[in-house]
Structure 1
Amino acid sequence: MRSVIVYKSPELLEKVEKVLLDLGHEVKSLPKPSRSLESFDFIVSIGGDGTILSILQEVRRCPPIFGINSGKIGYLTHSNSTDFEDKIRIALKKFETEKFERVKCSCGDSDCLALNEIAFFGKERGKLTEITIKIDSEEVDRIRCDGIIAATQIGSTAYSFSAGGPVVEPYHPSIIIVPVAPFRFGWRPFVVRMDRIVEFEAKNPGLVIADGKKIFEAKRVTITKSDFPAVFFKRDDRIKRVFQIIRRIE
């Protein structure tokens, strides 16, 4: 099978290449992800969650990803620098995968995908912006805030969590709507099904940020379930992993 390694940490690269070659796979290594990743049978990521998110920024059709954590949190990864050899051998032997929905953010002819979240902010720092929230074309609220987040259940432990959003288990496809610094007492985040159509509209053009990367400017954005899920090698302890991550953050 054709494999590709995307690495942020070159220290592990040789060891990972050797394991894959010993298992009979073709191997290519890239220091930065590109759209060419779609043509491989599977991807090995050496880095942290940010490395995996950068891979997903480049691909629509997603080959299965195996993550080796050399970062801090490693919520999306499968192993670390000390135990990856056994775990990658087992994963490739079983070749069991799982899919997690991504969201698509659209504005006119522009769109982007995100696994964790779409964030929509006013362009002027330190200034509140009024954002109208619609779900399935129905206006549900208007709120003054610094910005607003539409997170997936996978992203519920990321930026959404730091903004006061709830933790949602990874196998419950959801869009979590969380305002950032809302100018209203008692406003709480809420969760809708992934197949809802969520719209944010501001009085003035704002910034659209997908998984931490600024994508484009827009006055109105539509967020829907993407047709291109993220695909990972299966991790049997993924639910337990959520609680481990939260305890570590606290």
Structure 2
Amino acid sequence: MERIRLGLMLHPTRDVTEVVAIIERWAARQKMSLAVRIEDRHRVPASVEPLPADQVADACDALISIGGDGTMLGALRAAVRNPKPVLGVHLGRLGFLVEVEPPELPAALDRVAAKDFTVERHSCLVCEVCDDDVVAFNDLALVRHPGSGFVSATLAVDGQRYGYYRCDALVVSTPTGSTAYNYAAGGPLVSPASDAVVVTPSAPMAGISRAVVLSGDETIRLELTPGSAAVAIEMDGVILQEAATEGAVQVGYRRDAGLVVRLDPRRYQERNQLKLSLIDLPLLPAQLRELLPDELREQLDRRELPPPR
């Protein structure tokens, strides 16, 4: 029987030592092997095999994302050609995708080994940008450089032109990404059970001024117009191009492009509802903390304690 291999996707800056140690001990007991990107080999024990970044997902049976939503999105993008289940371990600030807190990890790994979990399927945007195909599980954004004017672009759907935008930023999001940049820009929350794409202008000055919700079967084309400001193109918050002043972005929709491990879908949903409600409360962080359930507040306190000397 071939040995099961798990791939570790690490937050680029946070200390992951404790979480990786838990996973390594568990994997040794289960006789499973671990892999990590070559550039992260100095952050893990020698028993973890380093692989080229573009080979980790293909070479592993499942992935463990250690970080926040950004790390989770990176893991999903890495596995988009051959989707693998991704378990998210939370080391971020306000994660909507990750489910497992570090103290819960041993029990969560046991359940994964026993195949006692469900898989949440995620769609992504497939975008033609800068003569290359890229994917985004949250959003694609055209963002103006401060002080350089406005994003000016036309909207076409399945080849039919519908209007134009003049705004600070233009956000195209999946249902998963509707809680992120789209939500901050005033766009709607979209059920993750739907196949939809949302196009939302941030701080619109002219043209289309409201969010547009489109079918996942429609192809979107955003084309910069003459006189547009220099535009940065972001994919899931990662900059693809710094200062485009011309050209177009074509966006399609791919179903079932990512697989997220869910251990307790109902509790996960309740946590996210709480996080969304806190975002809209105009309170200081200390005040928000008092509104959290005791269990979650204790977990935050443990995480913020200084390490023993």
TM-score (norm 2): 0.74
Q: How does 1:83-94 map to 2 (within 5 A)?
A: 83-94=104-115
> 2 CA distance for matches of 1:182 and 1:57?
30
* Higher Cα Rg, which structure: 2
> 2 CA distance for matches of 1:57 and 1:245?
24
Residue identity opposite 2:114 in structure 1: K
* 1:5 to 2:8 alignment: yes
Q: How does 1:113-124 map to 2 (within 5 A)?
A: 113-122=135-144
* More RCO (CA 8 Å, sep 6+): 1
Residue identity opposite 1:223 in structure 2: V
1:227 deviates by 6.7
Q: State the SS of the aligned residue for 1:73.
A: coil
Q: How does 1:125-140 map to 2 (within 5 A)?
A: 125-140=147-162
- Deviation per residue, 1:202-224 (Å, 9 max, x gap): 12563321000111346211000
> 2 CA distance for matches of 1:125 and 1:170?
36
1:39 deviates by 1.9
TM-score (norm 1): 0.90
> 1 CA distance for matches of 2:192 and 2:33?
32
* 1:160 to 2:185 alignment: no
Shift in CA distance, 67/200, structure 1 to aligned 2, threshold 3 Å: same
Aligned to 2:69: 49
Name stretches of at least 5 consecutive residues in structure 2 with no aligned partner.
42-51, 281-309
1:115 deviates by 0.2
Residue identity opposite 1:152 in structure 2: T
Whose strand fraction is larger, Structure 1's or Structure 2's? 1
Q: State the SS of the aligned residue for 1:18.
A: helix
Aligned to 2:294: none
Q: State the SS of the aligned residue for 2:31.
A: coil
- Deviation per residue, 1:88-130 (Å, 9 max, x gap): 2213322542321111110463121000000013456441132
Aligned with 1:58 (options 62, 78, 87) = 78
Aligned to 2:249: 221
* 1:210 to 2:235 alignment: yes
1:249 deviates by 1.9
Q: State the SS of the aligned residue for 2:225.
A: strand
Whose helix fraction is larger, Structure 1's or Structure 2's? 2
Identical positions, percent: 23
Residue identity opposite 1:193 in structure 2: S
1:192 deviates by 1.2
Aligned with 1:82 (options 96, 103, 123) = 103
